[in-house]
């Protein structure tokens, strides 16, 4: 096994792994010196010259010339007669420098050397990948789907580094096949079993924030600030934005002409419904905007308990709650206040009956479930179509039918 064979291994790694030249030279020299120390106990009388450009290296050993028969350490001393075979001019006490061929170390030592070199370069590459992505947490990565498993997707970046997109970090309606291009944000980087584990996410609010930065130049330039983002991935999101320049309409800039800017984001998020609202320190106005598109009649705010009682007209309640209760949940998360929705009682509603009046016929937990979706009276339940009521409450079909029968009988 010649020098060239070993250097070919080294050159192959350098080409594939993009490790900088000084680091590779240092690793190669360390590997050789480790072998010398293992064989001779020290390496201080050896000089190692590495030429990456030519793809070769040289090992030179320095030994002291001693009288014949006085050689105690063949690694550090050379007899006068042997030295003169190299050059007739050598005298006792002088230093002889001769080249040591790799083949002289023996086949076993060379094999161990190659294995050590391979292990060191792989370790170095793992550390490089870890450090690279640790600095990129919060950045969007574009990669290629390499393998799709039940619980995660393996993604390769442009340098063939392996990234993981867990099922829990995928939008429910995401569907990818091998070879598909994919965009996600780096949310976590850790070392597991001495290998870097890079976790991606498409459900993180940070992903939505980065998409806005890509689509809206004013956000990227700092003219518009995103104050808060909350998401129900694949369903709905609310984004509060603010501009310090009165000439800029932050909502209009984010949406774009005829929705041109936000449409790209919506498509990327599998048609996630995105509400962009103006941030304000006026809490009452902020909660009102957060519950958009519902129109609020009045609000009572408990700043100590972080609660807000919101009163709306009967036809606005379903808008405030939203499909699956997403609108009110996101509004609560966005503002930091627990929001309770109440129907305003008009004269025409005087005949309506509070749900608590049916506690002898309907279980209390069912009544609490109905209240949780904004229904606190009999008519407010009856106004909602059967299928929509099942979806909102997540109650069994038979349970909902029985509730509707009881409530209808009250008005018959």
User: Residue 187 domain-assigned?
Assistant: yes
Give me the pLDDT at residue 226, please.
Answer: 96
Tens-digit pLDDT profile for residues 104-141: 777 787 787 778 877 877 888 888 889 999 999 999 99
User: Residue 391 domain-assigned?
Assistant: yes
CA separation for the pair 2, 7 (Å, rounded): 9
Q: What is the CA radius of gyration of the chain?
A: 36
For residues 8 and 119, membership in a common domain is answered with yes
Q: How many CB atoms lie within 10 A of CB 394?
A: 10
- Residue at a domain's end among 203, 227, 254: 203
Tokens at residue 287, please?
A: 């909660």
For residues 54 and 79, membership in a common domain is answered with yes
Give yes or no for a contact between 400 and 389, defined as CB atoms under 8 angstroms apart: yes
For residues 148 and 85, membership in a common domain is answered with no
User: Residue 278 domain-assigned?
Assistant: no
For residues 98 and 163, membership in a common domain is answered with no
Give me the pLDDT at residue 12, please.
Answer: 56
Give me the pLDDT at residue 348, please.
Answer: 46
User: Residue 294 domain-assigned?
Assistant: no
For residues 19 and 53, membership in a common domain is answered with yes
Contacts of 52 (CB under 8 A, 6+ apart): 14, 21, 24, 25
Longest dimension (CA), the chain: 126
Q: What is the domain range of residue 166?
A: 136-203
- Residue at a domain's end among 100, 131, 162: 131
CA 168 to chain centre: 12
The helix (run of H) or strand (run of E) holding residue 190 is: strand 181-192
The domain tally of the chain equals 3
User: Residue 220 domain-assigned?
Assistant: no
For residues 99 and 170, membership in a common domain is answered with no
Tokens at residue 344, please?
A: 């305003």
For residues 36 and 115, membership in a common domain is answered with yes
For residues 121 and 141, membership in a common domain is answered with no
The residue ranges of the chain whose pLDDT is under 50 are 1-2, 4, 347-349
- Residue at a domain's end among 73, 107, 131: 131
Query: What angle (nearest 5°) sits at the alpha carbon of residue 350, between those of residues 345 and 354?
Result: 75
Give me the pLDDT at residue 149, please.
Answer: 94
Q: Counting Cβ atoms within 10 Å, is residue 213 exposed (0-12), middle (13-18) or buried (19+)?
A: middle
User: Residue 231 domain-assigned?
Assistant: no
pTM of the entire structure? 0.68
For residues 19 and 122, membership in a common domain is answered with yes
- Alpha carbon distances (Å) from 245 to 95, 103, 242: 77, 73, 9
Contacts of 304 (CB under 8 A, 6+ apart): none
We report the CATH number of the domain holding residue 394 as 1.10.150
For residues 39 and 115, membership in a common domain is answered with yes
């Amino acid at each position: 096994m010649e020098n060239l064979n070993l250097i070919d291994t080294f050159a192959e790694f350098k080409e594939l792994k993009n490790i900088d030249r000084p680091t590779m030279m240092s690793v190669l020299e360390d590997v050789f010196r480790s072998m010398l120390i293992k064989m001779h106990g020290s390496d201080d009388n050896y000089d190692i010259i590495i030429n990456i450009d030519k793809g070769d290296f040289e090992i030179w050993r320095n030994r002291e010339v001693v009288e014949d028969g006085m050689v105690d350490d063949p690694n550090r001393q050379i007899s006068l007669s042997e030295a003169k075979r190299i050059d007739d001019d050598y005298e006792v006490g002088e230093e002889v420098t001769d080249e040591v061929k790799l083949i002289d170390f023996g086949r076993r030592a060379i094999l161990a050397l190659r294995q050590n070199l391979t292990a060191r370069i792989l370790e170095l590459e793992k550390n490089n990948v870890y450090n690279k992505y640790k600095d990129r947490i919060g950045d969007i990565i574009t990669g290629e789907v390499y393998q799709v498993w039940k619980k995660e997707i393996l993604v390769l970046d442009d340098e063939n580094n392996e990234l993981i997109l867990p099922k829990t970090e995928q939008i429910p309606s995401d569907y990818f096949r091998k070879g598909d291009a994919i965009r996600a944000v780096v949310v976590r980087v850790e070392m597991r079993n001495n290998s870097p584990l890079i976790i991606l996410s498409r459900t993180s609010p940070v992903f939505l924030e980065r998409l806005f930065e890509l689509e809206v130049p004013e956000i990227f330039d700092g003219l518009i600030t995103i104050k808060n983002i909350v998401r129900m991935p694949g369903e709905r999101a609310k984004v509060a934005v603010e501009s310090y320049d009165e000439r800029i309409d932050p909502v209009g800039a984010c949406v774009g002409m005829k929705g041109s800017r936000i449409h790209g984001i919506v498509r990327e998020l599998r048609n996630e419904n995105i509400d962009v609202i103006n941030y304000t320190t006026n809490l009452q106005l902020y909660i009102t905007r957060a519950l958009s598109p519902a129109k609020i009649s009045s609000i009572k705010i408990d700043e100590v308990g972080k609660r807000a009682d919101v009163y709306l007209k009967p036809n606005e309640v379903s808008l405030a709650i939203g499909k699956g209760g997403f609108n009110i949940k996101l509004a609560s998360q966005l503002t930091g206040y627990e929001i309770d929705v109440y129907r305003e009682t008009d004269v025409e509603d005087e005949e309506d009956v509070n749900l608590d009046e049916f506690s002898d016929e309907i279980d209390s937990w069912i009544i609490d479930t109905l209240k949780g979706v904004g229904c606190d009276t009999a008519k407010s339940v009856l106004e909602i179509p059967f299928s929509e009521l099942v979806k909102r409450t997540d109650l069994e079909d038979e349970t909902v039918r029985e509730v509707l029968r009881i409530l209808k009988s009250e008005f018959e």
